[in-house]
Structures are given as C-alpha cells and as structure tokens.
Amino acid sequence: MAKRLKVTVDGSAVDSEASFHAYMREALTDLEYEGDDLKALEDVLLSAEGPVRLIIKNHDDLIASLGDYAQRLDVLLHEIAVANPNFSFKYK
C-alpha cells in the first residue's frame, strides 16, 4: 500500500514561483518531484498512486504574491483532483 502524504503550504511564506516550487520539491520528494513549473507539478500529482492531501493556508497571501500564477495553480489543482482520485486539496 502506498504511503499517505499530507502537504501543507503556508501562502504567507511563499513570495515567488521559485519559492513555491522549492517548497513542493522538498515536500514531495517521496513522489520524485523535481520540477520548477506547473507542468512538473501536474505530472507528479497525476501519477500519485497513494493518497496525497494538499492544504493551502493563507490562500489570499499566495494570490497576492503569485498573481496570475496562483490562479493557474488553482485551476490546475481542481483539474488534478478530478483526474486523480488519490489527490485532494483544500484552502484553509
């Protein structure tokens, strides 16, 4: 059975696309995520075989820091959640 993974991102600590992906790389090392863009994140989350739960705290801060990139991330997370029943996310 695949290991359950819970990742919490604090949007107030993210100040750039690079810092977001650096955090995700560290958090998703078990899934071999090594990318630095939304396509790489999509690939790793779509292929996750075990439960992956992403919690994004301070979502408004994330949007303020990343702007349009945060909007594209939101759309992508919804699409992944539909396509892969092992992935879920929520905003806190």
> Is residue 24 predicted with pLDDT exceeding 90?
yes
Torsion of CA 34, 36, 41, 43, to 10 degrees: -60
For the chain, the domains span 5-91
Query: Residue 31's pLDDT is what?
Result: 85
Residue 87 — φ and ψ, nearest 5°? -110, 135
Residues facing residue 8 across a β-bridge: 55
Render pLDDT for 35-83 as a digit per residue (tens, 0 to 9).
899 999 999 999 998 899 999 999 999 999 999 999 999 999 999 999 9
CATH topology of domain 5-91: Barnase; Chain D (3.30.370)
> Is residue 2 predicted with pLDDT exceeding 70?
no
DSSP state of 9: E
pTM above 0.85, yes or no: yes
